[in-house]
Amino acid sequence: MQHPLGRLYRSVYRPWPMALLATLASACLLALLGLGVALSQAREAQRADLESRGERFLLRFEQVLGQLRQGLATLELQPLRRCDPGLVESLQRVSFEHRFIHEASFVADGQRCSSRPPHAAPEPARPADFHSQSLDYWLNATNAPDEDPAALMLAHGPFRVSSSRGHLLDAVDPSGGLGVYLIPRGSTQALPILAAPPSLTILPGAADSAALQLLDGQPFYRLQGDNPDYQLALLAPRAQLLQRIRACWERLLPVGLLLALLGGGATFRLVRQRQSLGGELQGALRRQELQVYYQPIVHLASRRYVGAEALMRWQRPDGSLTSPEQFIPLAESTGQIRAITDFLLQEVLEQLGDLLRSHPELYISINLSACDVSAPRIGALTGRLLARHGVRPEQIAFEVTEHGLIDLQAASRNLAELRARGHRVLIDDFGTGYSSLAYLQTLPVDCLKIDKAFVDALGADAASSGVAPHIVRMARALRLKVIAEGIEREEQARLLGSEGADYGQGWLFAPALSASAFRELIGGGQPAAPLSPVPSGRRQAAPGALIASAPARSRASPASDSIPLPGPLRAGRQAASVGAGERGMGPLPGKPARQSLENDL
């Protein structure tokens, strides 16, 4: 019975539903992303606008404040302290000589006089808004009921000077809802200058930040100033920021929707292509379009062929080739990899069953995917096929990649069952995945395969040039056999042999061959390549010596010490790498091996 999630996946994984889901998901994601970008752009535009307007206001405010202080200093220097014509004349002179002083006044001992008679002298009913440098400050103070309220009043002793709102309105227009506030140093109160009362309460530290902030949803921006007594801040209406956000988002939304539609179209094409390829792969299994090729493996000391790695290729009826990098991952995601593994086992035994019976020292290596390792089904299937063809279990070896060990406990249990049946277990592409000693000590492993990338680095000025010898030494310490992949030069084979590697495969020895070509190769009985000198101080195992040293580890290896351990099914990965014989899918019948590999690419 199919799992409900599997049925749901198959019902949804169709071109139109997946395209619709991709479009909706992309549209939502891009809309949120566009909203974030619009918010960021709107805040930046609002900050730039407030900064520009605030700088003009700050310049005018400092000019007004400077003249008010000068007026007070002038009044303090004159000796009169009574409301007589001479003092009134001094008040009028100060008001006349300073452009931004709207009114000067004297208030003391019940006396009140101003530079603007017959008006009463300004005397705010409330205490000063703040005090600094012996000066009292009133903001939005009132001269008289029929006058525009003063924007700023300063007092020192009995003298007062004030400036009208008009002098500040020349620098900034608050009619659009903009508010200008003064923040005394160290205070959390923003006092209105050109804004409607009351004052605002700001968070501690907000006045020390030059970034645009939100105060009750309204943009709040502190102006940069050098005055040690106060800071100025601007508060913009919330509607202005929302309008900017809406305008930016409306510009970005069509682009996001277009990208979402393009993503949906790409998803539709991809799913249709994958479904088409998956359906063709299912038909290829029925029509037996998948072909098995064999990459010979040699004993490095004697250069005798001891086995082969089974490789898969897909040749269409029109002669075109589909890369294993395309159909193997697809088969793994759709579950068709199980059928491919079963097909591979049957083909290997049907094609080479009699050869294996007549040469018991040979073996064939087959790679298992993650789903094959996680379920205990391969052992029983292989047992039935071996009994039918009369082949010994030791002549079929299985290997897994480090990336395929998803469920380590299940993999350890199922691989142990395969070893109990007499099969050998290999770790393929060692060093390119997890490369953990912990799982090497946990898993029932007999042999490590050194990835071609590390073999290529031998003798080169590369950081990984010493990895292959290190893996060999580590395998020796763990009493594991070693197979080196991708050997293409004699010096590589010599170096690996001198380091203690047991077996190798690659273009130096033979390309991937068809079943008939492999039969002919084994029937010839000739060494794979001229023997290279082996250092006298190192003892090499005989070509028939299998991985028999593993029993010293926690799990005992089955009997049969006459078969060296092999390589993987490499059905989908690197099967067509140029110059990597053991990675290739093998030559087409009647063509030279390397030329066939180039055609495969």
pTM for the complete prediction?
0.48
Helix (H, G, I), strand (E, B) or coil at 496: helix
pLDDT tens for each residue of 156-176: 989 999 998 888 888 887 777
User: Do residues 528 and 296 lie in contact, with contact meaning Cβ atoms separated by under 8 Å?
Assistant: yes
Model pLDDT, residue 208: 56
pLDDT tens for each residue of 65-89: 999 999 999 999 999 988 889 999 9
pLDDT tens for each residue of 282-296: 767 777 778 899 999
- State the CATH architecture for 289-524: Alpha-Beta Barrel (3.20)
Identity of the residue numbered 548: A
Model pLDDT, residue 373: 86
> Please, what's the b/e burial string for 402-417 (b: 16 or more CB within 10 A of its CB; e: otherwise)?
bebbeeeeebbebbee
Model pLDDT, residue 269: 77
Tokens of 93: 């002179």
Helix, strand, coil percentages for the chain (3-state, nearest 5) = 45, 20, 35
Model pLDDT, residue 387: 95
Residues of the chain with confidence (pLDDT) below 70:
1-13, 117-125, 142-149, 203-211, 272-280, 283, 432-438, 461-464, 524-601
Model pLDDT, residue 565: 37
Q: How far apart are the first and last CA of the chain?
A: 40
According to DSSP, residue 129 is labeled S
Identity of the residue numbered 312: M
As to burial, measured by CB atoms within 10 angstroms (0-12 exposed, 13-18 middle, 19+ buried), residue 451 is buried
β-bridge mates for residue 104, sequence order: 161
Helix (H, G, I), strand (E, B) or coil at 313: strand
Model pLDDT, residue 457: 87
Tokens of 131: 């005090």
| Residue carrying structure tokens 């000066």 | 135
Model pLDDT, residue 434: 58
Q: Which of 408, 381, 409 is nearest to 396 (CA)?
A: 381
Helix (H, G, I), strand (E, B) or coil at 228: coil
Strands (E), 185-229: 189-194, 200-201, 213-215, 218-222
Domain ranges for the chain? 11-200+213-244, 289-524
pLDDT tens for each residue of 520-548: 999 866 666 665 443 333 334 434 433 33
Tell me the helices (H) and strands (E) count for the chain, helix number first: 16, 21
User: Do residues 456 and 450 lie in contact, with contact meaning Cβ atoms separated by under 8 Å?
Assistant: no
Report the share of the chain in percent with pLDDT over 90. 28
Phi and psi for 259 in degrees, rounded to 5? Answer: -65, -35
User: Do residues 183 and 231 lie in contact, with contact meaning Cβ atoms separated by under 8 Å?
Assistant: yes
As to burial, measured by CB atoms within 10 angstroms (0-12 exposed, 13-18 middle, 19+ buried), residue 371 is middle
Phi and psi for 571 in degrees, rounded to 5? Answer: -65, -30
Model pLDDT, residue 543: 41
Model pLDDT, residue 598: 32
Q: How far is CA 298 from the centre of its chain?
A: 42
